């Protein structure tokens, strides 16, 4: 998967700085998903999860749409098998990926595309993009998490409007609701995603991975259980630190504090 061969429907590029970009590459069909595309997307995330050279993953779509959902000409092939094999399920592989995933939503994210966006950790969206759930319109039952995740992210009443009435959720409204992190001009979506990735990579990789895990795992639980997980993992983390690691931590804090003081003089 090294490099960027644009005859592939899923294109993966790895850059020396630690950013990997995954591109849905079927622009003439608005990146609608065929069964082989879904399998390749799952394989891509599984491989990137294991690649130590990769620290942050950006997911985007080629052309004017992010993903228009499942290619309904192959609906039976897709829906009969989409949740049965986790190895071939891109959403499962995204959720299991320990690295931060930034969705670069360059255009509409529809139904399965919406669900893939929901599996990202952060979202940068283009002005005018929208998230659309057409499950109810076409008689398709959700199986990649939309029925459960969206209500938790934007509230149940708004989620019911988006899903039961198939009402588009604009990128701008999604930002106000806290679902989208940034809305920018279309030609700035990838740049903003890279800027966000760069900010993440300035921090401790080990802590970033642990932090993503504790946020995502805790969000599935009630507050009491989530706080217990944080406490348990925090104790485990500090118990595993050596005196040398504590010394380096203190030196780093002291160095940062001196830089802040000198910048104010």
Distance CA 49, CA 119 (A): 14
Mean pLDDT calculated for residue range 110-116: 97
pLDDT in tens, 17-55: 999 999 999 999 999 999 999 999 999 999 999 999 999
Instruction: Provide the 8-state DSSP code for 128.
Output: T
Yes or no: say if 127 and 85 are a contact pair by the CB < 8 Å rule. no
Asked if the 10-202 domain carries CATH number 3.90.226.10, the reply is: yes
23 bridge partner residues = 11, 60
Q: Assign residue 89 a region: left if phi > 0, alpha if psi is -120 to 50, beta otherwise? A: beta
User: Is the pLDDT score of 127 beyond 80?
Assistant: yes
User: Is the pLDDT score of 117 beyond 90?
Assistant: yes
Strand ranges across the sheet with 130-132:
109-110, 130-132, 169-170
Task: Check residue 160 and give its pLDDT.
Answer: 98
Mean pLDDT calculated for residue range 182-209: 97
Classify the C-alpha dihedral 160-165-168-172 as positive or negative: negative
Task: Check residue 252 and give its pLDDT.
Answer: 78
Domain boundaries, the chain: 10-202, 205-263
Q: What percent of the chain has pLDDT over 70?
A: 91
User: Is the pLDDT score of 114 beyond 60?
Assistant: yes
Mean pLDDT calculated for residue range 253-264: 68
What is the DSSP pairing of strand 109-110 with strand 130-132?
parallel
Mean pLDDT calculated for residue range 174-185: 98
- pTM of this prediction? 0.91
Task: Check residue 246 and give its pLDDT.
Answer: 84
- What mean pLDDT value characterizes the chain? 91
User: Is the pLDDT score of 107 beyond 70?
Assistant: yes
Task: Check residue 241 and give its pLDDT.
Answer: 87
Task: Check residue 156 and give its pLDDT.
Answer: 97
pLDDT in tens, 198-236: 999 999 999 999 999 999 999 999 999 999 999 999 999
- Give the residue among 40, 44, 70 at the shortest CA–CA distance from 57: 44
Mean pLDDT calculated for residue range 231-242: 93
pLDDT in tens, 41-91: 999 999 999 999 999 999 999 999 999 999 877 666 666 655 578 888 999
Distance CA 251, CA 265 (A): 21
Task: Check residue 4 and give its pLDDT.
Answer: 45
Q: How many residues does the chain have?
A: 265
Q: What percent of the chain has pLDDT over 90?
A: 80
């Amino acid at each position: 998967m090294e490099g960027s061969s644009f005859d592939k429907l899923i294109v993966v590029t790895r850059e020396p700085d630690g950013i990997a970009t995954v591109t849905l590459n079927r622009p003439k069909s608005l990146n609608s998903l065929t069964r082989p595309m879904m399998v390749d997307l799952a394989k891509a995330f599984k491989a990137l999860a294991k690649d130590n050279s990769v620290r942050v993953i950006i997911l985007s779509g080629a052309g004017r749409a992010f993903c228009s959902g499942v290619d309904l000409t192959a609906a039976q092939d897709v829906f009969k098998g989409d949740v049965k094999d986790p190895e071939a399920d891109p959403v499962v592989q995204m959720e299991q990926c320990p690295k931060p995933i930034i969705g670069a939503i360059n255009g509409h994210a529809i139904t399965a595309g919406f669900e893939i966006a929901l599996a990202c950790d952060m979202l940068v969206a283009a002005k005018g993009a929208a998230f659309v759930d057409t499950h109810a319109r076409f008689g398709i039952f959700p199986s990649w998490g939309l029925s459960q995740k969206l209500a938790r992210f934007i509230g149940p009443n708004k989620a019911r409007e988006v899903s039961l009435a198939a009402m588009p959720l604009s990128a701008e409204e999604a930002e106000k609701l806290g679902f989208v992190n940034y809305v920018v001009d279309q030609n700035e979506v990838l740049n903003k995603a890279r800027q966000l990735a760069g900010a993440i990579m300035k921090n401790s990789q080990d802590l970033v991975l642990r932090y993503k895990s504790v946020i995502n795992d805790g969000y599935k639980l009630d507050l009491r259980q989530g706080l217990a997980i944080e406490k348990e993992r925090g104790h485990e983390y500090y118990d595993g630190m050596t005196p040398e690691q504590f010394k380096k931590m203190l030196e780093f804090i002291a160095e940062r504090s001196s830089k802040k003081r000198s910048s104010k003089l």
